[in-house]
A and B are shown apart, each in its own frame.
Chain A
Amino acid sequence: MTSTKTVFEAEETAVTEPGRGATGRRGPWWLYAVLGAGLVLMVVPFLWMVLSSVKPEGEVMSVPPTWWPETVTTDNYEALFTRLDFPTYFLNSILVALAVTAGNVMFGSMLGYALAKLAFPGKRLVFGLVLFTLMIPGVVTFVPLFVLTTNLGLTNTLPGMFLPFLAAPFGVFLMRQFILGLPDELIHAARVDGAGELRIFFSVIMPLCGPAMATLGILTFLGSWNNFLWPLVVAQTEDKYTLPVALALYSVGQNATQYGLLLAGAVVVVIPVVAVFLALQRYIMQGIAMTGIK
């Protein structure tokens, strides 16, 4: 058994990444070779996207595709930045994505913890509902959800864009599964020390959920950031458009697509996502060093 003291030690040492320091292993060379070869396969389309966004329209879609641009042009980016009111669209996107991410991480961990570690009446029902909702294809509820949103007076508002997605079953399920993997002893010890149930959640469990919350944050941010159809339908005026909606304005026509514009837009859209990933990815690797337990 352990005491709360070790629990807080766990919190402090959580940032040390496993494998580093203690043993100093770098991992075998062949692992780097295999992972490195795989890495090449993973990044090629991304690099092609970036390189092609500076090609003139005729070259972008030449078949077979070219790798390095024969002519480098910033036309595609200029077309986007001069025609679109970027600050507005970026702000709308970021506000919606942050709200959705914060909501999912918060509400997901709360209910996820309850489902993983607490005994309460109705638990099976609630978990069943979460799974049930997870499995319903979004396309089927789209129209009724929009009619509902209209009647709540939320069309053409940012809340209309994020409220329906603030608590998604994905986050609850992810957090529940992660928290299930945490040792029960932590909670028992805190209870023995007289901590209240909610305090245990906020002071003991939350600090240990860094990896899962970072993961959920990355995945939710990406999903919300790239969401296209919902913000398009909810927005009634251009000043409420999100970035992906605005970027689609001129690249896809009635009959033809301007791929140069489309790829430049894709690069613009991806930058914040990569930034969020870079910022959060190190928390994914927070090991839980539970010295003293068992």
Chain B
Amino acid sequence: MRRSTTTAVRALALLAAASLALTGCGREADAGGDGPGQGEAISDGPATGTIDVWAMGTEGEMLGDFVKAFQEENPDAEVKVTAVPWEAAHDKLANAIAAGETPDVSLIGTTWMGEFAEAGGLEPTPEGLVDEGDFFEGAWNSTVVGGTSYGVPWYVETRVLYYRKDLAEKAGWSEAPQNWEELKQFATDLQKKAGLEYGINLQPGQTGSWQSMLPFAWSNGASVTNDDGTEYTIDSPEMTEALEYYKSFIDEGISGPTRILDPGELESGFAKSTFGAFISGPWHAGLVEDAGVSQDEYALAPLPGKDSAPGTSFVGGGDLAVFSDSDNKESAWKLVKWLAEPEVQQDFYNAVGDLPAVKESWESGKLADDPQLQVFGEQLENTMSPPAVPTWEQVAAEIDADIEKAVKGAMPVDEAVSHMQSQAESIGTGL
């Protein structure tokens, strides 16, 4: 495979890291938060040469056939797709970057961008490759690390409210709740009037609960970092208020249980009227239907905002990035650009079911007509992505732990919030 002398040098350096303890070379002082600026614009001609692509799971399985259209347009290019299991894909990418043994292009989970870009593994997006304004804002922001964009959004997912429509009607709700007060009443009515065990299920802390809680905070005007992503701004009255609100569902017994659910328990419970509602992403539609909930029995709605404004949700998904160790960068970017074209994004949705990151793709076809999909389309207009900093996963774990402490009453809410802030500050942004 591609073994360059630079990787050899790098590895020798690493193996000799023990001697580092004695010599102490030291870090260069960081010039500050400004990134290196975008890459040079690429040429117009067709792509050439071999383009190695890694893509995870189903995306990887489908992409091989899908890029045939690209190869027809670029007869001198050969796209080789390797499917990588999602499980441990992060580790595989991290190791590949460390050893300089990367493909040319890879699908990268949106929350990994900060880490891999900071590692120097990714190329800045070339100037003028795509138009930032074509993408959902939250999705684009996931590519921006320290002011520089390191890739292009490929597909997105966002979280919306799933609820049992039939039971909601029984409880007197013909429409989804529009604000926080209504959401509380909605869940209470589902529980009391429709006789459910829990009106809603909100994750009571532990891994990934930030994805459920932060949308409430964002909807309330709170933020995790300041605008340029250099400082944490978690400790705010808005964050505290949002966590209080979140916790109140559990305190009042509307949301439960307080343990983590077993795999499949949420879907089974949704089917058996244990839970009346929950917040999750597009993949859950298939899961609840597998569990026996028919399409007439449930509905989706955008997250309610605090007052009249729409709620802000979490946006995740996958970005496409080109590696700095690639020896075919121009052609690699051409493939990325092609995959981000609105029609190609639509075709990819039709083939794989991943929601397009390009707004224009939602204006026609099934994405424009299907009422369920339209809920996601609507929600995507109001989304935030977590800050694309290398330390995000660690900060998120602290937030998860503090949510659990607050929800279970092991720590007062305001203390939990200021603890999140102090932990995040001590971890730093890693930029």
Partners in one complex: yes
Contacts of B82 in A (CB 8 A): 236-238
Q: A63-B265, A147-B11 given as contacts; is B95 within 8 A of A253 (CB)?
A: no
Of A6-14, A53-61, A162-170, the one touching chain B? A53-61
Q: List 25 A-B contacts (CB under 8 A).
A: A57-B290, A58-B290, A58-B291, A62-B268, A63-B262, A83-B61, A147-B98, A147-B99, A148-B15, A150-B7, A150-B11, A150-B100, A153-B3, A155-B99, A229-B88, A232-B84, A232-B85, A232-B91, A233-B88, A236-B82, A249-B61, A254-B86, A254-B157, A256-B284, A259-B264
CB neighbors of A among B280-337 (8 A): 281, 283-284, 287, 290-292, 316, 318
* B86 pairs with A147, CB closer than 8 A: no
Q: How many residues of B contact A (CB 8 A)?
A: 51
Q: How far is the CB of B323 from chain A (nearest CB, A)?
A: 13
* A236 pairs with B292, CB closer than 8 A: no
* B57 pairs with A62, CB closer than 8 A: no
* A245 pairs with B86, CB closer than 8 A: no
Of listed B82, B83, B86, B157, residue having the most chain A CB within 10 A: B86
Contacts of B87 in A (CB 8 A): 228, 248, 252
Partner of A249, one of B85, B96, B269: B85
* B263 pairs with A238, CB closer than 8 A: no
Q: Is A156 an interface residue (CB 8 A)?
A: yes
* A255 pairs with B283, CB closer than 8 A: yes
Contacts of A236 in B (CB 8 A): 1, 82, 101, 103
Tell me, in angstroms, the Cα distance from A58 to B294 when the chains sit together.
13
Q: Is A144 an interface residue (CB 8 A)?
A: yes
Q: How far is the CB of B298 from chain A (nearest CB, A)?
A: 14
* B11 pairs with A151, CB closer than 8 A: yes
Tell me, in angstroms, the Cα distance from A151 to B10 when the chains sit together.
10
Of listed B1, B57, B85, B287, residue having the most chain A CB within 10 A: B85
Tell me, in angstroms, the Cα distance from A229 to B84 when the chains sit together.
12
Chain A, residues 236-254, CB within 8 Å of chain B (1/0): the string is 1110000001001110111
Chain B residue, CB-CB nearest to A237: B82
Chain A residue, CB-CB nearest to B100: A150
* B85 pairs with A254, CB closer than 8 A: no
* A146 pairs with B98, CB closer than 8 A: yes
Chain B, residues 86-128, CB within 8 Å of chain A (1/0): the string is 1110011011101111010000010000000000000000000
* B109 pairs with A254, CB closer than 8 A: yes
Q: A228-B88, A232-B92 given as contacts; is B264 within 8 A of A155 (CB)?
A: no
Chain B, residues 232-265, CB within 8 Å of chain A (1/0): the string is 0000000000000000000000000000001111
Chain A residue, CB-CB nearest to B283: A256
Q: Nearest 4 CB-CB pairs, A to B?
A: A61-B264, A58-B290, A248-B85, A150-B99
Which residues does A use to contact B, with CB under 8 Å? Answer: 56-58, 60-63, 83, 142-144, 146-148, 150-151, 153, 155-156, 228-229, 232-233, 236-238, 245, 248-250, 252-257, 259
Q: How far is the CB of B285 from chain A (nearest CB, A)?
A: 11
Tell me, in angstroms, the Cα distance from A238 to B57 when the chains sit together.
12
Contacts of B291 in A (CB 8 A): 58, 62
Contacts of A238 in B (CB 8 A): 82-83
* B267 pairs with A61, CB closer than 8 A: yes
Contacts of A63 in B (CB 8 A): 262, 264-265, 268-269
Contacts of B85 in A (CB 8 A): 232, 245, 248-249, 252
Interface secondary structure of A, over-half rule: helix
Q: How far is the CB of A193 from chain B (nearest CB, A)?
A: 49
* A250 pairs with B57, CB closer than 8 A: yes
Q: Is B151 an interface residue (CB 8 A)?
A: no
Which residues does B use to contact A, with CB under 8 Å? Answer: 1, 3, 7-8, 10-12, 14-15, 17, 56-58, 60-61, 80, 82-88, 91-92, 94-96, 98-101, 103, 109, 157, 262-265, 267-269, 281, 283-284, 287, 290-292, 316, 318
Tell me, in angstroms, the Cα distance from A62 to B292 when the chains sit together.
10
Contacts of B86 in A (CB 8 A): 248, 252-254
Tell me, in angstroms, the Cα distance from A91 to B281 when the chains sit together.
38
Partner of B101, one of A150, A228, A229, A254: A150
Tell me, in angstroms, the Cα distance from A228 to B10 when the chains sit together.
26
Contacts of B84 in A (CB 8 A): 232, 249
Of listed A60, A248, A254, A256, residue having the most chain B CB within 10 A: A254
Q: How far is the CB of A74 from chain B (nearest CB, A)?
A: 17
Tell me, in angstroms, the Cα distance from A228 to B92 when the chains sit together.
11
Contacts of A255 in B (CB 8 A): 157, 281, 283, 316
Contacts of B17 in A (CB 8 A): 144
* A150 pairs with B3, CB closer than 8 A: yes
Contacts of A259 in B (CB 8 A): 263-264
Tell me, in angstroms, the Cα distance from A96 to B11 when the chains sit together.
25
Contacts of B109 in A (CB 8 A): 254
Partner of B57, one of A153, A233, A252: A252
Contacts of A249 in B (CB 8 A): 57, 60-61, 83-85
Tell me, in angstroms, the Cα distance from A254 to B281 when the chains sit together.
11
Contacts of B61 in A (CB 8 A): 83, 249-250
Tell me, in angstroms, the Cα distance from A238 to B292 when the chains sit together.
36
* A62 pairs with B283, CB closer than 8 A: no
Tell me, in angstroms, the Cα distance from A142 to B94 when the chains sit together.
11
Other A-B pairs, 10, CB within 8 Å; known A147-B10, A254-B86: A56-B290, A58-B267, A61-B267, A62-B268, A83-B61, A147-B14, A151-B11, A155-B101, A156-B1, A232-B88
Tell me, in angstroms, the Cα distance from A152 to B253 when the chains sit together.
59
Q: How far is the CB of A190 from chain B (nearest CB, A)?
A: 44
Chain B residue, CB-CB nearest to A57: B290
* A233 pairs with B60, CB closer than 8 A: no
Q: How far is the CB of A22 from chain B (nearest CB, A)?
A: 52
Q: How far is the CB of B292 from chain A (nearest CB, A)?
A: 6
* A256 pairs with B287, CB closer than 8 A: yes
* B268 pairs with A144, CB closer than 8 A: no
Tell me, in angstroms, the Cα distance from A216 to B82 when the chains sit together.
35
